[in-house]
Amino acid sequence: MPPRVSTRPETPESAGRPTVWWRRRPVALAGAAVVVATVVGGALAIGGGGKSGGPNPGAGGSPSTAGGAGTSSPGAGPSEGGTGGGPSSSAPGPGGTTGSGGGPGGNGPSASTTRGSGPAAGGGPELVAFASRRFGTPGIYVVAADGTGERLLTPVQGQYQTPVWSPDGTRIAFAADRVDNTDVYVVGADGKGERRLTTDAGEDFDPSWSPDGRRIAFTGRRGGNADLYVVDAEGGGEHRLTDSPDEEFGAAWSPDGGRIAYTRSISSGASAIWVVNPDGKDAHALVSPPGQNLGALWSPDGTRLAFVSTRAGNSDLFVAAADGFGARAVTTDPGDDLSPAWSPDGHRLAYVSQRNADRDIHVVDADGRNDHTVAANRSEEATPVWSPDGLRLAFVSDRDGTRLVYSVAPDGSDLRRLSPGPGPNFDARWKP
C-alpha cells in the first residue's frame, strides 16, 4: 500500500500547555513509520522541517523519547521534536514524529564547523532570520551571514514560528502564541514597530508576503478546519480566500502577485495543488491525485511549480508548468524526498532526502540531473533555503546536539554554523 502523507496543519509542542493548531509550509513526507514534517512555508516551507512536528515531536538525530510515532495526531509545524518529516501512516496533516536518527549519514561535511570567520562565501546576504525556542528567551532572532551579531527582535515571551522577510527586507512576519492563541504579527528588521495583524479566537499561522509587500496570506483555523485568508500588511482589510470542508493551507504567491497556490486535502489520504486569485475568485485545481500532492512553490519566473507527490508510492519532487500540466518527476530514488526550494535562477532545487538512516540536504538540477549531497551527517538536516545570490544554502541541523542554523555552499563546501545557540532553532530565512 502506498504511504500516506499528512496534509493537515499541525501543532508545536508546548510543555504543560494545551497544544494549538500551527502550520509551516508542508515539507511532506518520508518513511512509512514517520509523519510528514512541514513546512512552511513554507513552508513545503515552504515546507517544512526544522525539527518539525505536530502534537508529537519530529524525527531527531536520535530517536525521540518524548513523543510517539505520530501515527494518529494530525498537524504540521515546528516542535520540540526532530528536523525531518515523512508521510503520515494514519491521521491527515503534515507533522513530525519520532524518527530513526542516529544511523550513519552520508559523506558530507563533518560536525566540525566554523563560526564568525569572516563574510560568507561570495559576500552573502546581510542577515538570516530564524525562530528559536531556547530556554528563557524564545523568539525571532536575526544573525549576520558570517554567524556574528545575533539579535533578539521579539522580547515578549511566547512560542514563535515561521519568520518570513518582507520583499524589501525591512520587516518580518511571523506567527506567535503569546497567551493561548496563535496570531500573525509583523515587526521591523530592527525589532521596532511590532504590529499584531490577526486577533480571531481561532489559530492563525504560516504567513506569506505578497510580492509587492502590501498583503500577507496566512492559514486560519477558525471553523474547525484550515482555510486561507489575506490581511493587509499594515493591518485591516482581512478577507477569506477559501471556504470548504477540506483542509487548505500552504499559501504561495506567484511572482507577479496574481495567484496563490496552496494545498487542498480533498479526501482521506489524498491531496491536490489548487490556485486562487488574491480576491478569493477562480479557485481551481492545478495538480490532482493520485497520491498526495502538496507544498507547491512557484519558480522565480513564475512559469513552473515544484511540489512533492506520492503518486509513485514514495515521496518525490515533481515540476509542472504553471498551469499544472506536464508534471514530471525530478527525483526517483526509493528514499523519500521533500521540502523543495528553488534556486534564485530557477535552475536547481535544494531539498531534503531520507536515503540513509538520516535526512540530508541535496541539490539537483530542475530537470533531474546532477543530483548531489550538500550536507550529510549522523544527524537530521532540514528546511534548506537559498541565499538571494544563490551562493549559499541555510538549513537547520542537530549535528551539534541541538537544532541550530547552518549555511553551506551548494557544492557542499564551506559549512558554517550561524546561530551560536542555545537551541532549538528552526525556520531559517535569508534577508532579500
Give dist(CA 314, CA 230) in Å, integer: 33
pLDDT class for 285, splitting at 50, 70, 90? very high
Class of domain 127-430: mainly beta
Name which of 23, 321, 68, 264 is nearest 164 in CA terms: 23
Q: Which residue has the higher pLDDT, 70 or 171?
A: 171
Give the per-residue pLDDT at 170: 97
pLDDT class for 157, splitting at 50, 70, 90? confident
Q: Which residue has the higher pLDDT, 10 or 332?
A: 332
Average pLDDT over residues 153-176: 96
Q: What angle do CA 48, 134, 155 make, to 5 degrees?
A: 100
Average pLDDT over residues 294-299: 97
Provide the 8-state DSSP code for 382. Answer: E
Average pLDDT over residues 323-349: 96
Name which of 402, 395, 369, 350 is nearest 60 in CA terms: 402
Give the per-residue pLDDT at 223: 80
139 in Cβ contact with 153 (< 8 Å): yes
Task: Give the amino acid at 230.
Answer: V
Give the per-residue pLDDT at 66: 27
Task: Give the amino acid at 358.
Answer: D
pLDDT class for 37, splitting at 50, 70, 90? very low
Residues in contact with 136: Cβ distance below 8 Å, sequence separation at least 6, in sequence order:
none
Give the per-residue pLDDT at 384: 97
Q: What is the pLDDT of residues 232-271, one digit of tens each?
A: 999 999 999 999 999 999 999 999 999 999 999 987 789 9
pLDDT class for 32, splitting at 50, 70, 90? very low
Q: What is the pLDDT of residues 90-121, one digit of tens each?
A: 223 333 322 333 332 333 333 333 333 333 33
98 in Cβ contact with 85 (< 8 Å): no
Residues in contact with 365: Cβ distance below 8 Å, sequence separation at least 6, in sequence order:
347, 348, 349, 371
Give dist(CA 281, CA 275) in Å, integer: 10
Q: Which residue has the higher pLDDT, 159 or 40?
A: 159
Provide long-range contacts, Cβ within 8 A and 24+ apart, for 414-417.
Answer: 414/121, 415/108, 415/109, 415/113, 415/114, 415/375, 416/113, 416/114, 416/115, 416/117, 416/120, 416/146, 416/147, 417/113, 417/114, 417/115, 417/147
Query: 212-216, 217-221, 310-314: which range is least confident on average?
Result: 310-314
Mean pLDDT for the chain overall: 76
Name which of 169, 133, 130 is nearest 153 in CA terms: 130
Q: Which residue has the higher pLDDT, 209 or 19?
A: 209
Residues of the chain with pLDDT > 90, as a percent, come to: 62
Give the per-residue pLDDT at 180: 78
Q: What is the pLDDT of residues 182-203, one digit of tens each?
A: 999 999 999 999 999 999 999 9
